[in-house]
Every structure is written in C-alpha cells, then in structure tokens.
Amino acid sequence: MEHVTLNNGVVMPVLGFGVYQIPPEQTEQAVADALAAGYRLLDTAAAYGNEAAVGRAIKAGGVPRGELFVTTKLWVQDAPAEDNARRSFETSLAKLGLDHVDLYLMHQPYGDVYGQWRAMEAVNREGLAKAIGVSNFYPDRLLDLILNNEITPAVNQIETHPFFQRAADHDLMREHGVQHQSWGGFAEGRNNLFTHPVLSDIGRAYDKSAAQVVLRWLIQRNVVTIPKSVSPDRMAQNIDLFDFRLTDDEMARIATLDTGASLFFDHRDPQMAARLGTHRLEG
C-alpha cells in the first residue's frame, strides 16, 4: 500500500474502501471482506446510516486499531451548529465503537459552516479526530474556509473521475496543502466507464481492467480514492494496483476524457443547495 502525508503529519493510505449506498445489513460483511482483502482505510458517514455496522466489523476483524484509518462525516447541523456538530461527532464515535477517528469531514458546504468547523477544530485539538477536512467544497468555498479559520482542512473529498477530473481544484488544493480525495471514482459506471475503449485499451497492456486503470490513474495524480464493492473478487481486483504504473502518454490519453462537468449534480446549483442544505438526519 502507498500512503500520503496530510498537512498535519497524519499518514493516510492512498486507497481505501467506501461504504456509500451499501445497506446497513450488508455493510458489516462487506467491511469484513475488505479488511480481509487488505484494505485499511474505511470511509463512512453519518448520512450513510451504516456507521454502527462498520464499527462491528472493525471490532470483529481483529486488525489492530493502529493499522486502520477510519473516516466519517458530519451532516449539516441546525443552529447552534457548533454545539450540535459536537453532539453529532460524539454520536458517530459511539456508533463506530471507537475512541477516535482518523479523519472527520464536513460532508456538505452548507449551513453554518464556520460553527461546524469550530466544533471540528475542537475535536481535532483534543485528539478525537486526528485530522479534519471537508467534502464537496468548490475552490471558492474551500479558500474562504482556509483564509478565515485557524486549521486548514487536511482533505477535500470531491467527485473525481476520468470524465470530471477537477484539475483546477487539484491545483488549488496542492497550493494550500489540502489532500485531494475522490468520491465516485468509477462515475457509477456512467459513460460506459468499465468498457470504455481508451481505458480498456490501456489496461490490456498490463493485463488490467478499465477499473484498475482508473484507480491507478487517480493514485498517480496523488488523489486518494475509496472504491466501493460488495464482491470480494472485485475488492481484491481493486486493491491489485501496485505492480504497474501508467506512462505519461497513457495519463495524457485519459486526460482527454475530461468533460469538465459533474455526471451527478452541481453543489453550486440553487435547487441542490436547498435540497441538501435543509435535509436533516433522523436520530
């Protein structure tokens, strides 16, 4: 496994296992299989509804806590956001059954971002979250947060895949010491990603799949990635990436696939901002 070092010295695997959209009743087994396959970065969120299942798998898995890197995320909080964010963090920690998380992310750039961030800074200073960061922040919102707070986010987790490569976002993050992390690395199979002729042709040279080429491409761009699967065979394939390296020409061919637009939704869209910014989690 390769690693990156975050802006506060915390070491993070470049490849992890995400549990977005895995039902809670399937999550425990999926995480157990991922741990058995060698994954050590686990990514969940309060909004996914499966933190408790992730925690059970960690407890049963037998992997020493010091070898794991566990991420969860804070959903948008009502006022007073600082107090509610702290309670939400403590709820997530209890569901996971852990005494700390390695990374705590603000899931959406909505609501009282600054109140939420102050609560996150506090849990970071107390060692309850070894690193803190954000998710779904476009460059303007990210830079504003950096300039007006004491702690710079360690990570920004954003939609990133061959069809939406986020080059400008990547450059700004690198300039300010924020680690770029991808969600949706496979674009949920859209644009025929798994059979795409460019990706498949590159893969044939290494006896690798299009999916493996995408993950290798992300890693070589210094983008942390968290592919999801409930298939042990696919999990094993997704982590089998460290015996080949794409050439500059192959990286350039993949660069031509960028459309510059989301395949899902734009967080700057007013309707989406209203929908996500007013949604609250039950319990």
Task: Assign 3-class secondary structure to the chain.
Answer: CCEEECCCCCEEECECEECCCCCHHHHHHHHHHHHHHCCCEEECCHHHCCHHHHHHHHHHHCCCHHHCEEEEEECCCCCCHHHHHHHHHHHHHHHHCCCCECEEEECCCCCCHHHHHHHHHHHHHCCCECCEEEECCCHHHHHHHHHCCCCCCCEEEEECECCECCHHHHHHHHHHCCEEEEECCCHHHHHHHHHCHHHHHHHHCCCCCHHHHHHHHHHHCCCEECCCCCCHHHHHHHHCCCCCCCCHHHHHHHHCCCCCCCCCCCCCCHHHHHHHHHCCCCC
- The one catalytic residue among 20, 39, 48, 206: 48
Decide if pLDDT at 283 tops 80.
Answer: no
Overall average pLDDT of the 133-160 stretch: 97
Give the mean model confidence (pLDDT) for residues 117-141.
98
Q: What is the C-alpha to C-alpha distance for residues 81 and 78, in angstroms, rounded to an integer? A: 5
Beta bridge partners of 106: 74, 134
Q: How confident is the model at residue 282 (pLDDT cuts 50, 70, 90)?
A: confident
CATH superfamily of 3-278: NADP-dependent oxidoreductase domain (3.20.20.100)
Give first-to-last CA distance, the chain, whole Å. Answer: 37
Query: Which residues partner with 129 through β-bridges?
Result: 101
Which pLDDT value is given to residue 189?
A: 96
Residue 152, pLDDT above cutoff 70: yes
110 is catalytic: no
Backbone angles phi, psi at 198, to 5 degrees: -65, -50
Q: What is the mean pLDDT of residues 202-217?
A: 98
Average pLDDT, the chain: 97
Mean pLDDT of 5-24: 97
C-alpha–C-alpha distance, residues 61 and 55, integer Å: 10
Contact by Cβ (8 Å): 44, 66: no
Q: How far is CA 83 from the centre of its chain?
A: 25
Q: For residue 79, what pLDDT band results from cuts at 50, 70 and 90?
A: confident
